[in-house]
A = this chain, B = another copy of it.
Amino acid sequence: MEGEPTLRLRIFNLNCWAIRYLSKRRQQRVRLIGDTLRQEGFDLVLLQEVWSEQDYSELKLKLAGCYPFSHYFRSGVIGSGLCVFSRFPILDTLLYQYSLNGYPYMLQHGDWFCGKSVGLVVMKISGIIFNVYVTHLHAEYCRDKDAYLPHRLVQAWELAQFIRHTSKAADVVLLGGDLNMHPEDVGIRLLRGWTGLQDAFAEAMHFEGCKNGCTLVPDNCFTDKSELLPFPLGIRIDYILYKAISSFTVKCEELKTTTGRAPGMDIPFSDHEAVMATLHIQRQGQPAGATLGTADPALADVVTEARTEVGAGLRAARQQRYSSGRMAVLALLLLLLQAAAALATLAGLGAEQPFPKLSFCLLAFLALGVLVLATGLHLFHTMEVKMLHGTEDQMWMVLRALQERPSEG
């Protein structure tokens, strides 16, 4: 680069709410998103909840001219829903599927089936290496009694660890996505503290959009108004985060959100608002660094807080593993008892058949069904315990390291 010029990068991030058969006016909205992206000509587009590969293909076709490079991340039963469109070549990609993501039997929530993940695309723009991450964490269905908090914290931790380990050769790190966490939540503080990422909304020199940068607002006709009752302005759960790693600085010149409607239209892009950032990236004399180092004392507190929540999740998971295991054993005992009774009857030991045939069979089938389900649950919760325990251990290791060398980065 000659004379330290500035690279200006315009980024678009949106949770598209494009669930086949379920999301309202999906096709119309996907068309609208495509049209807007084509007109606006961003440099980088990070999308979530593009569950249908057909929607992705249509977008890809429409955007081929202005965003010739793109990647769709496949995972889970339904898919990760994550994709990236870019004006610049994508050099490499990697997908990391979170180890915990809700429960398969919570069909009404369905997060488990999506295989929630973080996708990484590596790009080189004007000689600067960008690691761009796009993700979508587990939803929060009830803030007061959030059963998924431990899982979301494991995801936030794995996201932070994945970014730390994979971004060591990058000059600039960008993360866009629906994190399903409010700015002050422990998961966001953990992610930011442990990676050193900065919040584009907090750093923006100029902001335009919903008050407090909210991305789920009552003004949007697709949002569930009852869920937003405790938050009359809405909530902020979609983010663009960034940091410069080597000798670069990143500044957020401008941050915008849509305000309940697509610009100039009468319907919104989605039930979420789009977040649009204009970043300035400049080479500087000496490495930026020190972001992480200075945050260390607070970081130890955040990791401790997160570890406490993961520990609570671990205790709950152990309890569920125990209950399901006990249920499986009881069902097995019942089956064995029935088998013994049947054998005894066959051998002519009993004076007469002790039960009517039909009830006997129904009971056996019921016991078999319970056995299969309870065993499945037991296996699932065993995995859950393993992953929560592993995360708790990792956090403990980090805490010890932070306490041993509080001044290092």
Binding site for B on A (CB under 8 A): 73-77, 79, 90-97, 99, 113, 115, 120, 161-162, 164-166, 168-169, 357-358, 361-362, 365, 369, 379, 382-383, 386-387, 389-390, 393-394, 397, 401
Contacts and interface: CB of A to CB of B under 8 A. Distances in A.
Contact of A387 (B74, B168, B169, B386): B74
Given A361-B361, A362-B361, A397-B93, A165 B120 contact: yes
A115 B397 contact: no
A196 to B, nearest CB: 15
Contacts of A387: 74-75
Query: Main secondary structure on chain A at its contact with chain B?
Result: helix
Contact of A389 (B74, B90, B120): B74
B168 A73 contact: no
Contacts of A97: 97, 99
A134 to B, nearest CB: 15
A245 to B, nearest CB: 10
A289 B386 CA distance: 39
Contacts of A99: 75, 95, 97
Contact of A169 (B79, B168, B389, B390): B168
A385 to B, nearest CB: 9
B74 A386 contact: yes
A357 B91 CA distance: 65
Contacts of A91: 401
Nearest to A398: B92
A105 to B, nearest CB: 12
A261 B146 CA distance: 54
Contacts of A390: 73-75, 95
A21 to B, nearest CB: 16
Contact of A79 (B76, B379, B386): B386
A144 B92 CA distance: 34
A165 B96 CA distance: 11
B358 A161 contact: no
Contacts of A401: 91
Contacts of A397: 90, 93
A182 to B, nearest CB: 27
Nearest to A117: B99
A83 to B, nearest CB: 12
